[in-house]
Amino acid sequence: MWRLCSMAALFGAFVLAAFSVSPVRAAEFALQKDDAGITVSLDGKLLTRYLVKSGAKPILWPVIGPGGQELTRAYPMREGDPNESKDHVHQRSLWFTHGDVNGISFWHEQGGNGEIVHRSFDRAEASGAQAVIATTNDWVAPDGTALCQDQRVLTFGAGADDRWIDFDISVRALKDVTFGDTKEGSFGVRVAGTMKVTANQGGRIVNSEGQTDAEAWGKRASWVDYHGPVDGKVAGIAILNHPSSFRYPSHWHVRTYGLFAANPFGIHDFEQTPNVNGNHPMKAGESFVLRYRVLLHRGDEKVGKVAEHFARYSQQTEAP
């Protein structure tokens, strides 16, 4: 009898303890719009801001990882960090542009180049564990002519140890245009100063093919991860290229000084072989689609489970 009572008491205690544990709260996104763009918060803390104009284009800045660190360079939006170099002013945190559209650079910011002009927010909503921002943008030549237009859908998600942004882009020609073969493009990130390989603090580049650091430049890969220390803890940014994306798997313009960009156009520059050309001519009304996931994670590519994330992401059939 004592044994039965004791077992019942233990079982009751177990049940009580199980139901006394606070449940894990799901991530909660929120959006706040102002004149500069939209602020994206996760569980009441800043995740990023979509800025409609910084230099000559829209960008995301800052970009904050699951450990609370800023994972992209703050210059030139904010100056004064001794770990940051003041080179390549056009490499602004996280962006999408290209260096040759009908011979006009939208990648650079110096005089005589094009500008990507925000036209509208087409969607901006947060619902519990997901947030979505959709925009329309014109690619305007120095003479004021709109050469093409892009529509972007950014979908934000989060796990216990990571954050991600699915970035789906449809580019439509408004005139006959050619996206030219150049290494200067296209979907880019500039990592925090302490993360870059040349900071000699442990920063590292790794791609899906096992190539590392300078060896990864110009290579084709399903994903690339750039990780290193920020505020004393290792964190990383990975860009995953969806199999349905134009010219998958992309070539990568990824540099040890901190630049990190997927570029499906710069084939001749990257492969450096004769009779190879990455030009992409388009008639007015034609379009192409690019799809990326930006994964913000703790630790290196193994701790961040980048390969596992890509396996799941690659099965995603449609953009939201």
**How does pLDDT run across 162-186, given as a tens digit for each residue?**
999 999 999 999 999 999 999 999 9
| In-domain check, residue 6 | no
Q: Is residue 126 part of a domain?
A: yes
256 in a domain, yes or no?
A: yes
Residue 207 lies in a domain: yes
Q: How many domains does the chain have?
A: 1
Contact between 239 and 224 under an 8 Å Cβ cutoff? The reply is yes
Q: What is the mean pLDDT of the chain?
A: 92
Confidence of residue 257 (pLDDT cuts 50, 70, 90): very high
Q: Give pTM, 2 decimals.
A: 0.91
Inside any domain, residue 15? no
Residue 320 banded pLDDT, cuts 50, 70, 90: low
Report pLDDT digits (tens) over 190-237.
999 999 999 999 999 999 999 999 999 999 999 999 999 999 999 999
Strand partners, 186: 97
Does 2 have pLDDT greater than 60?
Answer: no
Tell which wins on pLDDT, 6 or 52: 52
Q: Is residue 205 part of a domain?
A: yes
Residue 295 lies in a domain: yes
In a domain, 11, yes or no: no
Span 71-110, pLDDT tens digits: 999 999 999 888 899 999 999 999 999 999 999 999 999 8
Q: Domain with 95 in it: what CATH number?
A: 2.70.98
Q: Which domain holds residue 186?
A: 28-313
